[in-house]
Structure formats: structure tokens, C-alpha cells
């Protein structure tokens, strides 16, 4: 590809919204991975960092207050999508172009859990 075409494409992407840029980025990564030209996957260190960020996000009282009772799709500590149930949040994350978002429920503040079957 010529440098001129690449510069035109880069200029065009500046006009995209953050969500559109994420969709495009995921498409480009997927297309490179399909060809086997390069390993653009996360290193073990990056995966661990994303896991750490996600865990910290889930522990946050502010996030519990804001998202309590909802399912959230997270990429590290970034909210990709929310939903009333797991399938809804997962679908929205895929539509946003994030295929490996982690979907989990956010419990409201003070939630102590439930144990079923006890009478």
C-alpha cells in the first residue's frame, strides 16, 4: 500500500467516534490475525494488567452505585456496554466491536449475596 493511501485512511479515521474507532481497530486486528501475518494478541503481562484493572473497577463503590443491578461488558477498566442481562450486554459489546469483553453483573452497594434452598 502506498504511503499516500495510508495517510488518507488515517485522516478519515480522525472523523470517527470513539466507538467507531474501536470497531475499526478490532476489525483490523482480526483481519491480520486471520492471515497469520502477525501475533497481535495480548502478552501475558497485558492480560494480567487487564484482569487487575477489571477487578479494581468491580470493587469500586462508585461503580457499584452507578451500575448496580446491571451487567457490564468491560475491557480492562473501560465499560464497553451495559445490559439488563448477560446476553444483552454481551451482544452490545460485540456490536461495539469488542469480541473479548468480560461480562459480569455489578451488585448494588451493600449486597451481601443470596443463598438459595434454605427454609
80-100: per-residue pLDDT in tens?
999 999 999 999 999 998 888
Q: From residue 84, how far is each of 20, 55, 93, 116 by CA, in Å?
A: 23, 21, 13, 22
The pLDDT tens digits for 23-68 are 888 777 777 666 554 445 556 678 888 889 999 999 999 999 999 9
- Does the model's pTM come out above 0.75? no
CB 77 within 8 A of CB 56: yes
Amino acid at each position: 500500500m502506498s504511503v499516500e493511501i495510508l495517510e488518507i485512511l488515517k485522516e478519515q479515521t480522525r472523523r470517527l467516534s470513539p466507538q467507531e474507532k474501536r470497531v475499526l481497530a478490532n476489525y483490523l486486528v482480526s483481519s491480520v490475525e486471520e492471515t497469520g501475518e502477525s501475533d497481535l494478541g495480548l502478552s501475558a503481562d497485558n492480560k494480567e494488567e487487564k484482569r487487575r484493572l477489571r477487578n479494581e473497577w468491580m470493587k469500586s463503590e462508585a461503580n457499584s452505585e452507578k451500575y448496580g443491578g446491571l451487567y457490564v461488558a468491560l475491557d480492562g477498566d473501560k465499560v464497553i456496554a451495559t445490559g439488563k442481562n448477560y446476553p444483552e450486554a454481551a451482544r452490545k459489546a460485540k456490536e461495539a466491536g469488542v469480541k473479548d469483553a468480560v461480562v459480569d453483573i455489578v451488585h448494588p452497594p451493600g449486597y451481601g449475596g443470596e443463598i438459595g434452598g434454605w427454609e
